[in-house]
Amino acid sequence: MVMSMKQASREKGRPLPSSLFAAILYVVMFVIYSINAPSAITLGGITDLLNNTIVLAIASAGLTLIILAAELDLSSVGVIAVSNVLVATVSTKMPAGTIGSLLLVCLVGLLVGLVNGWLVAFLGLQSLACTLGTMIMCQGIALVILDAPGGEVAAFIMNRLTDTVFGMIPVAGLILAMVVLAWLLFRRTRFGIAIYAVGTDAVASHLTGIDVKGTKLRVFALAGVAYGLAGYLLSAQTGTGDPRVSNSFLLYVFAAVAIGGTSLGGGRGGVIGSVIGAAILTVMQKLLFAVGVADFYTNIFSGLIMVVAILFGNLSAILTLHQRMPLTRHGDHGYSAQ
């Protein structure tokens, strides 16, 4: 007696991605910004905005991968500092300095990522604590390489990467598009799916045959490469090396990921959300300036806007929750555990 359980077969639609609401908020903020500062929508304005966003966006993209695997990582500012000072000291001296220094910083990022990954996955250290240690070490290494701001970045990196291509497409915009495209593809690779699995339930992943330790190691390594790339692009922005990347940048990398809708508990969210989160934090500065907010009001409004961005994200979670409820017959986990 085959039990036929009539269950409304749900149509293909996934619940609304939370990054959609972050995108809506970004558009609203950009509109207010461009109303008050007409130069916002000029090519130069957009190029400058993208150049200011790119470093935070790529660093938070790297961090997103780690948070999806239910781990945390503070070493981003450390790797960015090391990459920045390396580019400033090496890029003009090496043959083919531009490409050579890019490979070098990605290698350095990979190395630090592997060390972090090994400490967390194989030695079983708590990721927040051990990456705090590696962050301080990297900051030390940056100071040893270059004990004060200076050095010189190859002209190509400094001018071409922050300029536009074919006269109308900002290079930073191209790079961001490539990162988003890479993520869309990456998410559907086995490694991408494994990251979500490990982030949701490490024991179940282990029982499913996923190499949990290997996945975590590779996630830290990949994030390290992203941080190296972010450091490289910071060198393009500043055209110089500065061993002291500020701690406030570290907090904003985490803020970008959270505003983008990725849950800090792991298993839910994505890089696109974090890139939008980074864009929100960057346009916030421009918006506040254009609207005429100055002096200490900037801090007050920045704090307010960050909370508002999250409430927008929560709004999306509530709506998606309702949207899913009537469709599935057994909403047996009606209450949200978190």
Contacts to another protein from residues 68-127, by CB under 8 A: 72, 119, 123-126
Site string for another protein, 203-242 (x = CB under 8 A): xxxxxxxxxx---------------------x--xxxx-x
Query: According to the binding rule CB under 8 A, does residue 335 interact with another protein?
Result: yes
How many whole angstroms separate alpha carbon 135 and alpha carbon 286?
30
Query: According to the binding rule CB under 8 A, does residue 178 interact with another protein?
Result: no
Closest approach, Cβ 201 to another protein, in A, equals 6
CB 33 within 8 A of CB 243: no
Which of these ranges, 1-9, 99-107, 175-183, 219-227, lies near another protein under the rule CB under 8 A?
A: 1-9
Query: According to the binding rule CB under 8 A, does residue 168 interact with another protein?
Result: no
Query: According to the binding rule CB under 8 A, does residue 149 interact with another protein?
Result: yes
* Sole binder of another protein in the list 65, 90, 271, 305 (CB under 8 A): 305
Rank residues 32 and 107 by Cβ distance to another protein and give the closer one: 32
Rank residues 77 and 105 by Cβ distance to another protein and give the closer one: 77
How many whole angstroms separate alpha carbon 276 and alpha carbon 259?
8
Query: According to the binding rule CB under 8 A, does residue 298 interact with another protein?
Result: yes
Which of these ranges, 89-97, 99-107, 173-181, 187-195, lies near another protein under the rule CB under 8 A?
A: 187-195
Query: According to the binding rule CB under 8 A, does residue 182 interact with another protein?
Result: no
CB 280 within 8 A of CB 27: no
Query: According to the binding rule CB under 8 A, does residue 9 interact with another protein?
Result: yes
Query: According to the binding rule CB under 8 A, does residue 135 interact with another protein?
Result: yes
Buried b (16+ CB within 10 A) or exposed e, 44-67: ebbbbbbbbbbbbbbbbbbbbbbb
Residues within window 17-46 making contact with another protein, judged by CB under 8 A: 25, 28, 32, 36-37, 39-40, 45
How far apart are the two ends of the chain, measured CA to CA in Å? 40
165 forms bridges with which residues in the sheet? 169
Burial class (CB in 10 A: 0-12, 13-18, 19+), 215: buried
Token pair recorded at residue 161: 């990467």
Phi, psi (5° rounding) for residue 170? -60, 135
Query: According to the binding rule CB under 8 A, does residue 251 interact with another protein?
Result: yes
CA distances from 63 to 59, 68, 72, 78, 271 (A): 6, 9, 8, 13, 9
Q: Which residues does 247 contact at the CB level (< 8 Å), separation at least 6?
A: 77
Rank residues 94 and 196 by Cβ distance to another protein and give the closer one: 196
